[in-house]
Chain A
Amino acid sequence: MELLLALVAGVLYATGLYLMLRRRLAQLIIGLSLLSNGSNILILSAAGVTRARPPLITEGVPLESFADPVPQSLILTAIVIGFGVLAFSLVLAHRVQQSAGSDDIDAIGPDSARVSSDTPDRP
């Protein structure tokens, strides 16, 4: 099980990083979400996988045989944060697409921008 999870995490990291190196914003966002899922699986497998033993401690049973609840709560937190960040970057990408008419990094780059970067902030 650990081996399988490790492989899955590795594949997710690799594909995520590969996609982040592409030029399209959509691919960058998909890469980011794969990367965050990869790190969630990594947390799960690094902390040790315990099968079918929920962390409900009963008396008289050694503590070692229960799953550790901390990595699960870490993953939950990370999923929530990752979801918020993903939603934000989707909106941002949508706005970039609207203003530039393309989601190619080169098309929206500062060199192609006809608008001055120094537009002042009006009072």
Chain B
Amino acid sequence: MLLALPILLPLLTAIVLHLLPQRSRLLRVVAFTGALGALGAAASIFVTVQRNGIQVLQVGSWPAPFGITLVADLFSALMIVMVSVIGVAVTGSSFAGVDPRREALGYHPLIQVVLMGVAGAFLTGDIFNLYVWFEVMLIGSFVLMSLHRTRAQLHAAFTYVGLNLLASAFLLTAIGLLYGQAGTLNLADLARAWPERRTPGLDAALSMLFLTAFGIKAGLFPLFFWLPASYHTPPAAVGALLAGLLTKVGVYAMIRVFTLLFPDPNASVYGVLLVLSAVTMVVGLIGALAQRDFRRVLSFNLVGHIGFTTVGLALWTPAALGGSILYVLHHMLVISTLFLLSGLFLRQRRTTDLSALGGMYRTQPAIAFLALIPLFSLAGVPPLSGFVAKVAVIAPMLDTGRYLLAAVALCVSLLTVLSMARLWEESIWKPAPVPSSASVPQRHLVVPLVAPIVFLVGLTIAFTALAGPVSSVTMRAAEQLLDRDAYVRAVLGEEVPRAAR
């Protein structure tokens, strides 16, 4: 039952939010309470998984390969905790005010729907169900993104919708072909039965289809163009939600499906993924350096750093995979913080264009210092969480003798430092371009806007301080991912695997 809570609580909250009288104060409190409840559920799932190993829930008591299974291993549990942390921050930031028209059109329930979809995608143990959760999450995010009517926002929404639907069609195609060959949709059952029935040709085709579908969602190199074209237009809180969660669902699905279904580390798809990850890093960061808008710089950084999260899968060692998981966690936290921070600029300066920002260091030194932490954490400045995560990603590259890859990753890290230093300099450090009275901070609005940022920055610092325990947990999560038999046993019961591999 516990496993269904991260899905049921947001659903329940969304329904209640629709039924309540539409008074914004009440809606915000209910949405925030729902998010807090989901955080509690996620934390207890994490503790249970940590203590007792992989948790399984057969929904409706249908036995494993026939019904839908919810599975939480350490990786899922970690992701669920991060989802609900970002949920708390995003719903919390709505206390600072939401566009009334947006609120009337269902801003709060939609956020809950997105949170539900993401949680479902992280928990499901059924590949078709994964597709359904993807759609739930996408529909929620489509509507959130297109609630506004300016032309640029509509254009961004259409780019986003079109490409994500294309990815869904690819995913559905891959699932259909997979079912035609394997005759089952349960991931554990697939992991057990599929290796016997595979043919090399279909295997390659399927892995490429999955790579394309998840690559579009994650924002890998040739498929990322929808992301910087759309993430800078919605309000900051929505941007934080989408940037923190949606691409990571693509990364999660990629890691989950590939570790279970394509367990041959020498398959050509991993070579492709390795090259794509490296190119993604480079292209994303070069793109970031060319941008002149705070949120567009962040969007390109988001793309570039996706490369760090997929490279561990391509290397296929426990250390590399663990490093990538650590990177995903760190990146979710920091990128959401930075998008929320852009909300502060929007509120005070009405823009996130870098040339119009500045002067914050003089007027609000405390916030300037607060901004310094996520910016430098993303850049990977020691001792912040980005440094820990980058070491965890790059060290396995050196251990496996991929020196060129490590060099690329290090150069990209340098570019990130450059990009982040530029953001800090332009948006905070430099004197304000126009010494206007309009930029005087509105104190009463600042507190609820800053509180979620403080919350996330606090977690970043905790992440840094607890780097040792956190990385040992991610390492165990990676070992669990590579131990397919344990996953199969947990889902299908203590049955002997059908064939010894």
A residues sitting closer than 8 Å to B (CB atoms) are 16, 20, 25, 28, 32, 35-36, 38-39, 42-43, 45-48, 68, 70-71, 74, 77-78, 81, 84-85, 88-89, 92-93, 95-96, 99-100, 108-110, 113-123
Contact = CB atoms under 8 A, between A and B. Distances in A.
Contacts of B158: 25, 92-93, 96, 108
B176 A46 contact: yes
Contact of A120 (B172, B229, B346): B346
A89 B151 contact: no
| Dominant SS among interface residues on chain B | helix
Interface hub of B142, B150, B183, B236 (most chain A Cβ within 10 A): B150
Contacts of A20: 162, 166
B146 interface: yes
B457 to A, nearest CB: 22
B162 A99 contact: no
Interface stretch (B320-328, B349-357, B375-383): B349-357
B162 A32 contact: yes
A121 B146 CA distance: 13
B180 A46 contact: yes
A71 B128 CA distance: 11
Interface stretch (B83-91, B95-103, B193-201): B95-103
A94 B392 CA distance: 48
B interface, how many residues as a size bin? 35 or more
B481 interface: no
Contacts of A109: 155
13 contacts: A25-B158, A43-B180, A85-B135, A85-B138, A92-B158, A92-B161, A93-B158, A95-B146, A110-B156, A113-B152, A114-B151, A117-B156, A121-B99
A46 B177 CA distance: 6
B172 A118 contact: no
B128 A77 contact: yes
Given A81-B135, A110-B229, A120 B347 contact: yes
B169 A81 contact: no
B351 A70 contact: no
Contacts of B177: 42, 46
B422 to A, nearest CB: 18
A45 B168 CA distance: 19
Contact of B99 (A38, A74, A100, A122): A122
Contacts of A115: 150-152
Contacts of B97: 122-123
Given A43-B172, A92-B154, A117-B233, 17 more contacts: A28-B162, A32-B169, A42-B173, A46-B176, A46-B181, A47-B183, A48-B180, A70-B185, A71-B176, A71-B179, A74-B185, A77-B128, A88-B139, A116-B150, A117-B232, A121-B236, A122-B99
B149 interface: yes
A32 B350 contact: no
A118 B351 contact: yes
Contacts of A39: 169, 172-173, 176
Given A99-B149, A115-B150, A121 B235 contact: yes
Interface in B110-155: 128, 132, 135, 138-139, 142-143, 146, 148-155
A78 B165 CA distance: 12
Nearest to A77: B132
Given A25-B158, A123-B97, A100 B180 contact: no
Contact of B155 (A81, A96, A122): A96
B28 to A, nearest CB: 12
Contacts of B168: 85
B172 A32 contact: no
A61 to B, nearest CB: 19
B166 A123 contact: no
B149 A95 contact: yes
A15 to B, nearest CB: 13
Given A81-B132, A88-B142, A99 B293 contact: no
A22 B151 CA distance: 20
Given A46-B180, A70-B179, A123 B146 contact: no
